[in-house]
Chain A
Amino acid sequence: MSVSELGHSTAPDVSRFPFLDPLQLGHLRHIENLAAQPDGEWSKMGIPDPGQEWLDSYRYQLAQMAYALGLAHYHRLPAAPAVFRETFDHLIRKMLRRDVWGYWKDTSQAGPYVNPDLKELRKGWIDPVVRENIMYSGHLSAMVGMHSMLFDDDAYDQPGALTFVHNPIFWGMKPEKFEYSRSSLNEVIYWQMVENGWLGVACEPNCVFIVCNQFPMLGFRFDDLRKGGSVAEEATRSYRSAWDKKGIFSSEGWFHGWWRVEQDDFVPPKSVGWTAWGGAVMNTWNRDFVRGIYRDQLRGVLKYGSDGLISLYPNSVVSRVREAMASGHPVNEIEDRTYPWPMPDFGYVAMLLSEMGDADLQGIFDHADRFMSPTWSDGGLYYPRNDQSYDADGNLVRMDRLTGNAMLAYARLNVSDGLWAMYNKPWTSDHFADPALQRISAAVDVTRAIFDRDTRLLVLTLQPRGDRPPEVSVDIGPVEPDASWRLFRDGALVVTARRGETIESTGEVRPVARNGGVGLELCIEKATTLVMAFDDV
């Protein structure tokens, strides 16, 4: 049957629904590539520190990649859980590997760096979440919480779903297992916050960082959504009150570096980095506060170059830049090319600017794309590690793994108040009742996936990955067994189904009955848009 024989249906106009751009798609593909690596394979994720203790460690990369996926799913491709779910699961599984959390056995012993009054090392322990280490447990909480909200799934709340296995091969003893669920993980974190007067849970022993305590707030919130609790409201209210009394700002107007519990004092921030990172997440529950201060916090930090490019001043000169700005003196000549850029500040700032919807973000991207070697690999886009700080012309070229794999991806996939929206306007049962792409065969990219409730249109744009066969199989669901719908392929009507029965089809797309939905099989050789129009046959 020819298309014309199918009827007179005019293809719906779906031009108003945006596509992922190639860079966004490239970032998603790179995250997918990294997440799909065999366990223990950390190619393109390796960092200078051998102990997974520093700020570009696997845990931060994995967590921020997960959040980037979440933002992309929520804001860019809301009708495509199939694109994200498996990759998100891979990231969580990797997060549970000893490669990621095993550092805690050493770090839990503390030391004079984190506690100058320590007389001897503590006896360390293996369990990475039972006490302190919110720099790990907070991210795990946020990851599994976000997963539950995005996929309407409590799989990680089952007993033992979050199990840490410590089983050194040559110990010859039984494996030690530390079993948690999303709920019990959050409970552990909650009671530590209580015990610390709501100022937060320590990362390294004795060190409470403001930034790292923002992530469990996400975990609390998403857990509340599943269980009907109000822990997040309690936690954020109590946290705000505790820090109002304590005072959150350093002399620079940034957040304190960290609070030393035993000494009850503050260590100054090492740069704007943790403030930017923390603010980007604090925006979810304290938006007016963050929006009211962030530009001033970035004063003297953003370096405006030629052609609209924006990079950062090294922390060693920020105070000089601020003074020059205040006195009206030029700032362009202020530099310190010896600064080692020990922190992923470029990525932290990009993340904050993305959440704020700040126009300067484009200048950050432009700088990265000109000076930080954007690289395509297996369809994925990333910025490779570069331990050098500046090129011969004084341009910042430093790139760490967190920024290159995750933070710039996060910033490109985010929208203004993007994380705020996930926290404050989470998906509910209404969303999950809408038809969506539940499964897709390999070798296909999805650049558009949205269900428009007003017009009852499911809009999908698929494109083949370069060297892969073009046969595509997708599952759409939920779709009622007696649903009526029409399917348009690139504007042409190709299938009509009435009350669950296919009554007309050109054969270009083969509908297949699926449990709870509809399967479609088709061949694509170029970007192809499928539009399913429901209840209009």
Chain B
Amino acid sequence: MSDCRIGHSANEPATQPGGTFELVDHHGCNVSDRSYRGQFMLLFFGFTHCRAICPAALSRLSRVIDRLGAVASRLRPLYVTVDPERDTPEVMKAFIERSYPRFTGLTGSRENIDHVKSVYRVFARRAADPDDPRGYQMPHTAFTYLIGPDGRYVTHFTDAAGEDEIVHQLVSYLGSGCSSP
């Protein structure tokens, strides 16, 4: 039996999000967290039917990436669906290429999506759509996660973070190449 389990010290914040995943990108290729080692992953979770949060966030993040200049090459923007039943690779591809070409869309089985949601502590819950009785909404966490080249959590941005703030922080992280600014 271990002498010390689960709990963490102030310098070892192992409670932070992140971990492994096995998904499918919008080209239909199998990918995992290891596929992006050596780059910073910028992850945003959402669903293509989202009418408010996702369009605003993806647009904002696209502008941020444009402003990064050359260091953007170190960044891999990923858009992970929480609605794999509707967001097939084909749907993701059309959605991404139409409006957010900076991003790679990721989907997968319900089981694998639930897993990646879990390790990133993402909330998403199916709810009725008052504007579409036959459809549904998926209220979800609106965080943007920055994961380092080693696959470890670096930081996250809330939906209240301003564009300038995100640019500033990303330049700090990406410019230094370190997981701390």
Task: State in angstroms the CA–CA spacing of A30 and B169 once bound together.
Answer: 51
The total of Cβ contacts below 8 Å across the A-B interface reads: 84
Q: Residues of A contacting B1 with CB < 8 Å?
A: 173-174, 176
Contact with A along B6-23 (1 / 0, CB 8 A): 111111110111000000
* Residue from A157, A176, A184 having most chain B Cβ neighbours under 10 A: A184
| Nearest CB of chain B from residue A205's CB, rounded to whole Å | 16
Chain B residues, Cβ within 8 Å of A245: 139
Pick 8 A–B contacts, CB within 8 A, sort by A.
Answer: A159-B9, A176-B2, A176-B5, A194-B143, A196-B123, A197-B123, A198-B123, A245-B139
Is B62 located at the chain interface by the 8 A CB criterion? no
Interface residues on chain B, number (Cβ under 8 Å):
26
B158 within 8 A of A: yes
Contact A157 B15 (CB under 8 A): no
Alpha-carbon distance A129/B15, docked complex (angstroms): 11
Note all chain B residues with C-beta closer than 8 A to A188. Answer: 15
Q: Smallest distance from the beta carbon of A159 to chain B beta carbons, Å?
A: 3
Interchain CB contact under 8 A, A194 and B7: no
Q: Mark A171-190, 1 if CB is under 8 A from B, else 0.
A: 00111111111111001100
Prevailing SS type, chain B contact patch: loop
From the candidates A176, A182, A191, name the one contacting B15 in the complex (CB within 8 A). A191
- Known A173-B1, A187-B16, A197-B139: A130·B123 in contact at CB below 8 Å: no
Q: Which residues of B contact A124 (CB under 8 A)?
A: none
Question: With an 8 A cutoff between CB atoms, is B122 at the interface?
Answer: yes
Please count how many residues in chain A sit with their CB below 8 Å of the partner chain's CB atoms.
35
Known: A174-B3, A195-B121. A158 touches B15 (CB 8 A): no
| Cβ-defined contact, B10 with A181, below 8 A | yes
- CB of A264 within 8 A of CB of B125, answer yes
* Contact status of A159 and B5, CB under 8 A, knowing A196-B123, A237-B160: no
* B104 in the interface (beta carbon within 8 A): no
B70 at the A interface (CB under 8 A): no
Q: 7 closest pairs, A vs B, by CB?
A: A159-B9, A178-B7, A181-B10, A197-B123, A179-B7, A195-B121, A184-B8
The contact of B7 among A164, A182, A195, by CB within 8 Å, is A164
B121 touches A179 (CB 8 A): no
A177 to B4 alpha-carbon distance, docked (Å): 5
B141 beta carbon closer than 8 Å to chain A:
yes
Determine the distance from Cα of A528 to Cα of B102 in the docked complex, in whole angstroms: 74
Q: Choose among B15, B125, B141 the residue that contacts A187 (Cβ–Cβ < 8 A).
A: B15
Which residues on A sit within 8 Å (CB–CB) of B158?
234, 238
List residues of B (156-180) whose CB comes within 8 Å of A's CBs.
Answer: 158, 160
Q: Indicate if A127 sits at the interface (CB-CB under 8 A).
A: yes
Shortest beta-carbon distance from B60 to chain A in Å: 17
Is the beta-carbon distance between A158 and B10 smaller than 8 angstroms?
yes
User: How far does the Cβ of A247 sit from chain B's closest Cβ, in whole Å?
Assistant: 13
Is B16 within 8 A of A179, CB to CB? no
CB-defined contacts of B12 to chain A, threshold 8 Å: 159, 184
A48 on the B face (CB < 8 A): no
Expressed in whole angstroms, the Cα–Cα distance for A182 and B122 within the complex equals: 23
Cβ–Cβ contact A181 & B5, under 8 A: no
A222 to chain B, nearest CB (A): 15
Contact A160 B9 (CB under 8 A): yes
A237 to B160, CA, bound (A): 10
Residues on B with C-beta less than 8 A from A195 are 121-123, 141
B17 touches A179 (CB 8 A): no
B residues near A129, Cβ cutoff 8 Å: 7
Cβ–Cβ contact B7 & A197, under 8 A? no
Distance of A264 Cα from B126 Cα, bound (Å)? 11
With A and B bound together, what is the CA distance between A179 and B2 in angstroms? 13
Instruction: Please report which residues of chain B, range 103-135, place their CB below 8 angstroms from some CB of chain A when the two chains form the complex.
Output: 121-123, 125
Closest to A245 in B: B139
Does chain B have a CB within 8 A of A163?
Answer: yes
Structural contact, A194 and B121, CB atoms closer than 8 A: yes
Let me know if B17 and A191 touch, CB within 8 A. yes
Minimum distance in angstroms from B94 CB to a CB of chain A: 28
**Are A194 and B141 in touch, CB under 8 angstroms?**
yes
B5 near A127 (CB under 8 angstroms)? yes
Chain A's closest residue to B118 (CB) is: A195
Report B29 CB to chain A, min CB distance, Å.
29
Q: Which residues of B contact A234 (CB under 8 A)?
A: 158, 160
CB-based contact A197/B10 at 8 Å: no
Q: List residues of chain B with CB within 8 A of the CB of A176.
A: 1-5
Please give the distance in Å from B121's CB to the nearest CB on chain A. 4
Residues in B with CB closer than 8 Å to A177 are 3-5, 7
Chain B: minimal CB distance from A192 (Å): 8
Q: Min CB distance, A181 to chain B, in Å? A: 4
Determine the chain B residues whose CB is within 8 A of the CB of A179 once the complex forms. 4, 7-9
**CB-based nearest B residue for A238:** B158
How far is A245 from B140 in the complex, measured between Cα atoms in Å?
A: 13
Known contacts A157-B10, A187-B15: A197-B4 contact under CB 8 Å: no
